[in-house]
Each structure stands twice: as C-alpha cells, then as structure tokens.
C-alpha cells in the first residue's frame, strides 16, 4: 500500500475516472432517469443533444462522431453495453459517482437527524463517564464524527437565507409582470426557513444536557486533562445556538422590509423617476465658492432642506455652581471586607449546590423507577419529594424530568389528567394527576 502513489496513478487515468463537465451532466441526467435500469443508445443520444443544447452548444446537424466518441468513452468506466440486448446500464463506479453527487446535493436540512445525532452524543457521553473511560476517546469517536454534519446544517439555513435575499434583489429589478408573486413567494420561503431554524434550535436543546454532563466532569475534578476539549464542545454548542438565533433574527429583520416593498409596489413609476432624479443631481450639481469655503450647489436652484432653525432653538448658558465654588476635599472611602455578606454568599452558593444535587438525586430516582417498572405515578412521587425536601426542589425536579423527557421524546409517554390531587400532609398544595410511562 505504501508504494501506491495516488497522484501518479490518477494522473494517467484521470479522464477515465472523472468526466468533463458536459459529459458529467449527461451521465447525471441519465442516472436521474434510469438509475440502475437498462436504457438504449437512442436514449443516450437524446440526452446528449438535450445537454449540449442546454449548455448553449447546440449544433444544427446530428453530430454522429461526437456522440459516438462520448458513448465509447462512457464505456471505459461508467457504462456497460449489453451487445446482444443492445442496451446500456451503469457500471458500479458510474452509479456510485452519480449517487454521491445526488446525496451531496439532496442532503440538506434535516432536524430529525440532528436530534438523533445529539441523542447519540448524549448517550455515548453518559456511557463514557459512567464507565470511567477516556473523555478524549469520546471526542474522537463521537464528537468529531458528528461535528461536520451539525455545522453544515446551520450553514444550509444561512445559505438559504442568502439565496432568498439574492432572489429578492433580482426580483425587484426585473421587468417581469409576475414580480409581485415572486416577492410573495420569497416571503413565504423565509417563513419556512424561520420555522426550520426554530426546529433546529429545538434539536439543539439536548446540547444543554451535554453541557451539564461536561460541567459535572469539571466539578468532579476529572476534567484537567480534557479542559481544552471540553471547552471546544461547549464553544461549539454556544456558537451553534447563537448562529441559529442569528438566522431567525436576520429573517425577522428582512420580513417586514419585504412586506413594505410589496405594499409600495405601485410606486414603481415614481421609483423609476427617482433614479433619473438622482442621476440628474449627480451630474448637474456644481461646486461653487462662497468666500473662502466651497459648497455644492444642486441644479436648477433646487430648494434646500432646512432641518433646524436657530431662532427657534435658543441656547441657554448654564453655569453650574460646582464650577465656581471652591472644590471640597473628597473623603477617602475605606474599603472593608464584609464578612457577613461573604458568609451569606457562601451559604447561598452551598444551598444552590445542595439543591442541585437533590434535584439530580430525585430525577435519577424517577428515571430508575421508570427503567425498572416502566411506569411512574408522578403525583405521589411529587408529594414524596415535598415530604423530604422543600417545595422548590419538587417543582424543579418536575421541570427537570419533563425537560429530560423531551430529550428522549420517543421513549416516554406523559399522561396528564387535569384533576387536582391534594396531599393529606400539605393541604395547600395540589397537582394534576400525571403518569409517565415507558413506551
């Protein structure tokens, strides 16, 4: 294998492996029509003619020699010819080439896939941590592999917005009668992209859970060797989420402007004249001297635009007392450490940490129960939490469980009967009857 030199080998075979543009387009067109089925020489020739015509190389006569040469070249790597049946079919190499191109172009926006990817990342990271494996292994085996696809999904959306903006600009300037429809079409398209961005953002929700796991790693001081990689993952999440937000914001900004254009559409004639007027201003304005200064004068004594009037804007002279009175010495502030406040802060932080641990404990307990007996009566569970902990812990636990469940949307079912259930111990608190079930 080492002695194989790809460059040298490819140099000699290049033409056989990679078709030139017109021929490549012919192959793709054939593939689109026939895939792995049989087709005739006549089919190939009509495709050749169509492609050449489309590419602007139309020829008035039938180019027997050209067509023949192309079909012969195709047979070297891309097509089989069945001499007895007089049919053609794609060779494996040709078929794969076309399939790859198709895949590359089709593979566009797919939030379901992103969700799957994230679920997989979350699962594999959880396993990695539970089994005390090397975190960098996870980076290499899971994160790195998913990264390009995750990034490209956001790029696709941004690209689509770019295309819409470009289409808008061409639409506005075209003389076509159907411009208004084009503009409305663009508005709808942007709405779709916005929905997609929000779907993607939803899919990215799981990244918060992954961030939680990473934070756990750092908290337990296991992370020293992985700090740079942990940061990389966190940065990637932060960036992706903010990029998605930007896509939505960008659309939010563009949409009212498009609507305004549609609204102002009947002003086209005025717009056309405005264009002429601007040219007129640019070409006919002159520079004149006024004393020692120069000024631009608009043509034809065009009226000026007064934007302010000094007679109506009286100036007041305000003299503040501070400026005329002697400066008093400024007292030096002594800074001390407020031990009480610091204690309080520490107490708060510890409480926050303790709360977080309790919430994690209860959430884990709930999911463990779900895993083992497949069903969790959440309402009594909730009251159990209240008995042992405070109400805030119970509420946050409920929130956490529901959020986590969102992550594994396909795994659990939540049934809610909107009937308040009261607890015997805590009379003031009631909760709807809620059951979580494993599917």
Partner 1 sequence: MADDNSEKIETYSFLNNKRAKGIFAKLDYTLRSGIHIQREYPLNVNLYRFLNESENYESLKDYYKDFFNLNLIKEGSDFNNYYYLNFNEDGKGKVPSENRDYLKSEYIIIGMLFLKMYKLDGNIELDSVSEFTTLLYEEYEEQKNALRKLINDNSSDKSTDLSDQRFETVITKSFEKFGDLGWLMWEKEDEKDKFKVMPSFERLRINYQPQIESIDDLIKEMKDAE
Interface contacts to partner 1, rule CB under 8 A: 165, 168-169, 171-173, 250, 253-254, 257-258, 260-261, 264, 270-271, 273-285, 287, 294-313
Neighbouring C-alpha atoms within 13 Å toward the C-beta of 367:
17
Q: Which helix or strand (DSSP H or E) is residue 384 part of?
A: helix 378-388
User: Which residues fall within 8 angstroms of residue 350, CB to CB, at 6 or more apart?
Assistant: none
Residue 166 CB, shortest distance to partner 1, in Å, is 10
Residue (304 or 322) nearer to partner 1, CB: 304
CA dihedral in degrees (386, 390, 391, 395; nearest 10)? -90
Q: Which is nearer to partner 1, 103 or 312 (CB)?
A: 312
In the complex, least distance from residue 279 CB atom to partner 1, rounded to whole angstroms: 8
DSSP string, 290-305: ETTEEEEE-GGGPPP-
Q: How far is the CB of 254 from partner 1 (least distance, A)?
A: 6
Q: Min. distance of Cβ 315 from partner 1 in angstroms?
A: 11
The smaller minimum CB distance to partner 1, of residues 257 and 347, is found at: 257
Neighbouring C-alpha atoms within 13 Å toward the C-beta of 176: 12
427 Cβ contact partners less than 8 Å away, ≥ 6 residues apart: none
The label of the residue with tokens 């007292």 reads 331
Based on C-alpha coordinates, what's the Rg of the chain?
Answer: 35
Q: Which one, 133 or 267, has the nearer CB to partner 1?
A: 267
Q: Which two tokens stand for residue 145?
A: 């592999």
DSSP 3-state assignment of 355? helix
> Two tokens at 333?
């502030």
Q: How far is the CB of 304 from partner 1 (least distance, A)?
A: 4
Shortest CB 230 distance to partner 1, Å: 33
Q: Which two tokens stand for residue 169?
A: 């600009």
Q: Which candidate, 165, 115, 121, 176, places its Cα nearest to that of 144?
A: 121
Q: Residue 311 or 320: which CB sits closer to partner 1?
A: 311
Decide whether 144 or 271 has the Cβ nearer to partner 1: 271
- Residue number with CB closer to partner 1 (21 or 308): 308
Nearest CB to partner 1, comparing residues 145 and 288: 288
CA distances from 236 to 107, 150, 240, 241, 246 (A): 22, 10, 6, 8, 15
Angle at 399 between CA 395 and CA 402, to 5 degrees: 140
Nearest approach, Cβ of residue 154 and partner 1 (Å): 18
Q: At closest approach, how far in Å is the CB of 249 from partner 1?
A: 12
Q: Measured from the CB atom, is 312 or 341 closer to partner 1? A: 312
Q: How far apart are CA 325 and CA 323, in angstroms?
A: 6
Q: Round to the nearest angstrom and report the end-to-end CA distance of the chain.
A: 50
C-alpha–C-alpha distance, residues 188 and 183, integer Å: 9
Considering the complex, what minimum distance in angstroms separates the CB of residue 157 from partner 1? 16
Nearer to partner 1, 24 or 185 (CB): 185
**C-alpha span between 24 and 18 (Å, rounded):** 8
DSSP 141: I
* Smallest separation, CB 156 to partner 1 (Å): 19
């Amino acid at each position: 294998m080492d002695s194989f030199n790809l460059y040298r080998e490819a140099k000699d075979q290049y033409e056989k492996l990679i078709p030139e543009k017109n021929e490549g387009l012919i192959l793709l067109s054939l593939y689109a029509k026939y895939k792995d089925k049989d087709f005739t020489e006549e089919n190939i020739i009509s495709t050749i003619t169509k492609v050449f015509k489309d590419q602007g190389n139309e020829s008035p006569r039938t180019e027997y020699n050209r067509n023949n040469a192309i079909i012969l070249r195709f047979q070297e790597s891309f097509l089989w010819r069945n001499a007895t049946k007089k049919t053609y079919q794609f060779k494996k190499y040709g078929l794969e080439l076309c399939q790859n191109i198709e895949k590359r172009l089709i593979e566009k926006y797919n939030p379901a896939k992103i969700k799957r990817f994230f679920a997989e990342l979350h699962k594999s990271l959880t396993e990695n941590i539970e089994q005390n494996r090397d975190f960098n292994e996870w980076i290499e085996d899971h994160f790195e592999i998913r990264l390009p696809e995750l990034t490209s999904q956001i790029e696709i959306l941004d690209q689509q917005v770019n295309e819409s903006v470009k289409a808008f600009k061409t639409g506005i300037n075209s003389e076509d009668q159907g411009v208004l429809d084009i503009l409305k079409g663009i508005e709808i398209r942007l709405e779709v992209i916005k929905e997609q961005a929000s779907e993607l953002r939803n899919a990215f929700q799981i990244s918060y859970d992954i961030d939680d796991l990473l934070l756990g790693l750092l908290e337990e001081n296991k992370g020293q060797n992985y700090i740079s990689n942990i940061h990389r993952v966190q940065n990637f999440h932060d960036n992706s989420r903010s990029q998605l937000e930007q896509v939505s914001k960008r659309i939010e900004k563009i949409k009212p402007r498009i609507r305004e254009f549609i609204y102002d559409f009947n002003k086209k004639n005025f717009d056309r004249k405005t264009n002429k007027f601007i040219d007129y201003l640019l070409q006919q304005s002159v520079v004149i001297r006024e004393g020692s200064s120069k000024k631009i004068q608009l043509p034809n004594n065009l009226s000026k635009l007064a934007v302010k009037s000094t007679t109506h804007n009286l100036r007041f002279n305000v003299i503040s007392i501070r400026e005329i009175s002697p400066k008093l010495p400024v007292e030096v502030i002594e800074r001390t450490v407020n031990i009480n406040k610091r204690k309080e802060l520490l107490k708060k932080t510890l409480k926050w940490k303790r709360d977080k641990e309790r919430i994690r404990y209860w959430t884990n307990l709930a999911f463990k129960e779900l895993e083992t007996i497949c069903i969790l009566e959440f309402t009594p569970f909730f009251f159990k939490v209240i008995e042992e902990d405070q109400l805030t812990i119970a509420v946050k636990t409920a929130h956490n469980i529901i959020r986590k469940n969102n992550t594994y949307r396909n795994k659990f079912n939540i049934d809610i009967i909107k009937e308040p259930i009261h607890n015997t111990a805590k009379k003031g608190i009631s909760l709807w009857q809620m059951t979580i079930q494993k599917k």
